[in-house]
């Protein structure tokens, strides 16, 4: 399985369990690693046989900016589901970063990573 990776997609979202997170929002950062057989696209030199990562980046931003949820787990699942709508994608690893999480001690980042594949 070949890999197409898109890292550091930034979008404003209103996810979290605290009222301030829902009211003020914050920046989320998303990385996706797609499992794709790129041979058909390479042989035909045809974009429609692989993943248009420009379109995917816009879809990721739309999901993050879309309907709020309490948990990063839920947001990560929504993003994985979106990635799997692309016919060429067989599996995906999604990492959601929440670098401005409301934590009272110094920290660098909070992330969740999930792996999903076609059933």
pLDDT (tens digit per residue) in 108-117: 999 999 999 9
**CATH code for the domain in which residue 60 is found:** 3.30.1130.10
Beta-bridge partners for 10: 29
Selected catalytic residue, list 7, 44, 98, 118: 98
Residue 119, pLDDT above cutoff 90: no
pLDDT (tens digit per residue) in 29-81: 999 999 999 999 999 999 999 999 999 999 999 999 999 999 999 999 999 99
Residues listed for the chain: 119
CA distances, 110 to each of 4, 21, 31, 43, 56 (Å) = 23, 15, 13, 40, 23
Annotation marks residue 98 as catalytic: yes
Range of the structural domain that residue 75 is part of: 2-117
**Number of folded domains that form the chain:** 1
Q: Give the residue among 59, 48, 61, 54 at the shortest CA–CA distance from 83.
A: 59
Looking from the CA of 111 toward its CB, the CA atoms found within 13 Å total 14
Question: What are phi and psi for residue 28, nearest 5 degrees?
Answer: -110, 150
């Amino acid at each position: 399985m070949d890999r197409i990776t898109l890292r550091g997609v930034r979008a404003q979202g209103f996810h979290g369990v605290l009222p301030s997170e829902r009211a003020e929002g914050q920046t989320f950062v998303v990385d996706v690693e797609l499992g794709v057989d790129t041979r058909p696209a390479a042989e035909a030199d045809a974009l429609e046989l692989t993943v248009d990562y420009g379109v995917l980046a816009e879809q990721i931003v739309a999901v993050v900016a879309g309907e709020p949820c309490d948990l990063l787990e839920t947001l990560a699942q929504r993003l994985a589901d979106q990635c799997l709508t692309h016919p060429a994608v067989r599996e995906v690893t999604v990492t959601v970063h929440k670098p401005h999480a409301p934590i009272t001690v110094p920290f660098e980042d909070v992330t969740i990573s999930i792996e999903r594949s076609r059933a």
